[in-house]
Amino acid sequence: MTAGVTPAPSSVLLAGEHFAAATLYLVAGALGLVWIAPQLASGAYPSPHVAGITHLFTLGWLTTTIFGALYQLLPVALGASLRSVRAGHVGFIAFAPGAGLFAAGVATSSTVLHHAGIALVTVGVVVAVANIASSLPRARARDVTWAAVAAALAFLASTLVLGIVLLHNLHTGFLAEARLRVLATHLHVALVGWALMMIVGVSHRLLPMFLLAHGADTRWTRRSLMLLGVGVVVLTVALTLRVGPLAWLAVALLEGGVACFVWQARAFHRARIRRKIDVGMRFAGIALGFLIVSALLGPAVLAGGVSHPRVATAYVAVGLLGGIVLYVVGFFYKIVPLLAWTVRYRDRMGKGDAPTVAQTFSGRIAHAQLVVMTAGVALLATGIGAGSTHVARCGAVLFLAGVILFVSQIARVAFGAANAG
């Protein structure tokens, strides 16, 4: 059994409720993507519709999944028992509906909805961050994963503050021409500081387990985290003070951070004992490819500025949907079936009549999902690049089809009979 994800009994329900809600948000986000595809194709990224749907992915899917995964990983991978399982549930009860209300409120420009949503999201984030942060001192070892979780939490808190400023601006317009710079700061602090640094830190612990890799050079994770963390801070200063050369330094640091992460993943991949790559790791591999594409677009976004909004839109869409969302889907395939299997078949363990974890979902459907989602992101990006509503919408529909396949898999893992497909 994979030690890093063996369920901590007290927090299985907690993780499960987060994963269930996150999956629903992924469906909502994918439906919304079909709706906003024309706006993406015209590069209208600052539109309320785009911002609303974006948060179905970033708060609803991504942040909820990360919270659920941390509640599992803290005790079993870092040896840090969760400060309060009850606070975990309280945070969830606020955050899960809050993310939806907030996203709907922003998308429809409804003040009542986004006020209710932001209040609940704030409670949910503050409770989760406080609970996880106060569990960290209990960890057995303060290694690079531990440091990444701590740094990512700080970036999430900053994301919330910047998000509230941006939300206030949507009513009052007080930021005036500074809005797009604050928006750029918010989305980099969120996507790089919170999501990517968390991914880099957690991958350091889980990739060697998932790939059965031994003896890889593991120094690249630390380098990646340093470069990404410093890069986000330098970018924030550069955008706030409007210092062009500093922004280019930030881009160089961020590119270096992504490169070190990819290099670390490659080192684990090369040092693996298990030659066959399973579908979860294939998702992660494809996601790294999209991350590289997004990173390559970064300098073009800085050079083009606001006069090339479709490049900026493609940069975020490829990084978020192709890089981060697909990577997390891959890890979901590794973590969730194992958790569900342990809960469902614990009593039959060793009696010979329990299915294997891999038999609780269909490998064929998972591979079909990977093909469809990859094609979806690629088409969406092509549609945005070419300014074609039709192509962008086709990409979004393919992405949605992949998400529906994914949901059928998760439902089978949670409730269905095992199969050998």
Residue among 45 and 331 whose Cβ is closer to ligand HEM: 45
Residues 343-382, interacting with ligand HEM (CB under 6 A) = none
Structure tokens at 218: 């593991």
Residues 85-104, interacting with ligand HEM (CB under 6 A) = none
Structure tokens at 353: 């009549």
C-alpha separations of 285 from 66, 291, 370, 374 in Å: 19, 10, 11, 11
**Residue 351 one-letter amino acid:** K
Residue among 62 and 335 whose Cβ is closer to ligand HEM: 62
- For 21, residues 6+ apart whose C-beta sits below 8 A from its C-beta are 60, 64, 92, 96
Of 26, 30, 62, 318, the one binding ligand HEM (CB under 6 A) is: 62
**Residue 235 one-letter amino acid:** L
Burial of 352 (0-12, 13-18, 19+ CB in 10 A): exposed
Using CB under 6 A as the binding rule, whether residue 73 contacts ligand HEM is answered as no
Name the residue with tokens 């706006």: 39
Using CB under 6 A as the binding rule, whether residue 167 contacts ligand HEM is answered as yes
By beta carbon distance, the residue nearest ligand HEM is 163
Q: Which stretch binds ligand HEM (CB under 6 A): 9-17, 183-191, 271-279, 299-307?
A: 183-191
Least Cα distance to 418 among 370, 354, 369, 367 occurs for 354
Residue 267 CB, nearest distance to ligand HEM (Å)?
27
Residues 311-330 as x/- pattern, contact with ligand HEM by CB under 6 A? -----x--------------
Of 164, 243, 262, 293, the one binding ligand HEM (CB under 6 A) is: 164
Q: CA 208, CA 201: separation in Å to the nearest integer?
A: 12
Q: CA 234, CA 185: separation in Å to the nearest integer?
A: 10
Residues 105-144 as x/- pattern, contact with ligand HEM by CB under 6 A? -x-----------x--x---x-------------------
Residue among 324 and 413 whose Cβ is closer to ligand HEM: 324
Size of the site for ligand HEM (CB under 6 A): 31
End-to-end, the C-alpha distance of the chain in Å comes to 22
Of 8, 37, 51, 326, the one binding ligand HEM (CB under 6 A) is: 51
Using CB under 6 A as the binding rule, whether residue 388 contacts ligand HEM is answered as no
Using CB under 6 A as the binding rule, whether residue 166 contacts ligand HEM is answered as yes
Q: CA 248, CA 251: separation in Å to the nearest integer?
A: 5
Q: CA 187, CA 194: separation in Å to the nearest integer?
A: 10
Structure tokens at 106: 């922003």
Backbone dihedral angles phi then psi of residue 213, each to the nearest 5 degrees: -105, 130
Of 12, 31, 38, 46, the one binding ligand HEM (CB under 6 A) is: 46
Using CB under 6 A as the binding rule, whether residue 190 contacts ligand HEM is answered as yes
Q: What is the CA radius of gyration of the chain?
A: 20
* Sign for the pseudo-dihedral over CA of 139, 143, 149, 155: positive
Residue among 121 and 338 whose Cβ is closer to ligand HEM: 121
Footprint of ligand HEM (CB under 6 A): 45-46, 50-51, 54-55, 58-59, 62-63, 106, 118, 121, 125, 159-160, 163-164, 166-167, 169-170, 179, 183, 186-187, 190-191, 194-195, 316
